[in-house]
Amino acid sequence: MAGGKSKDANNQKIVESLLKELRVNAGLRQIDVASALGIQQSMVSKYEVGERRLDILEIRELCALFGLNLSSFIELLEKRLEGNNEAN
């Protein structure tokens, strides 16, 4: 089971990294995202460093801000997860 937890943690880091990358590529700062979502900037930071996990509806809302639909996000995420799993 320990290996499963480690894999889950690695996969979660990939999600966090992808969300941050998409935000930066969209030219948005954390404060911009927070303002658009009506939340504190610290919450955006927590999403990106893994202190708080997002549900699928929150991810969908972030994707819309980043100019991406949810299915495109899932495709990008799957490619990264597959690449990570092949490397391990």
pLDDT score of 30: 98
Q: How far apart are CA 58 and CA 70, in angstroms?
A: 10
Q: Where are the domains of the chain?
A: 2-87
The yes/no answer on whether domain 2-87 falls in CATH 1.10.3720.10 is: no
Q: Can you say how many angstroms the Cα of residue 49 is from the centroid of all Cα atoms in its chain? A: 9
pLDDT score of 36: 97
- Amino acid in the structure at residue 36: A
Residue 87, pLDDT above cutoff 70: no
| Helix 70-87 × helix 56-65 angle, to 10° | 110
pLDDT score of 88: 60
Write out pLDDT tens, residues 1-59.
Answer: 445 678 888 999 999 999 999 999 999 999 999 999 999 999 999 999 999 999 999 99
pTM of the model: 0.85
Helix, strand, or coil here: 88?
coil
Give the containing element (helix H, strand E) for 45: helix 41-49
Cβ atoms within 10 Å, residue 44: 25
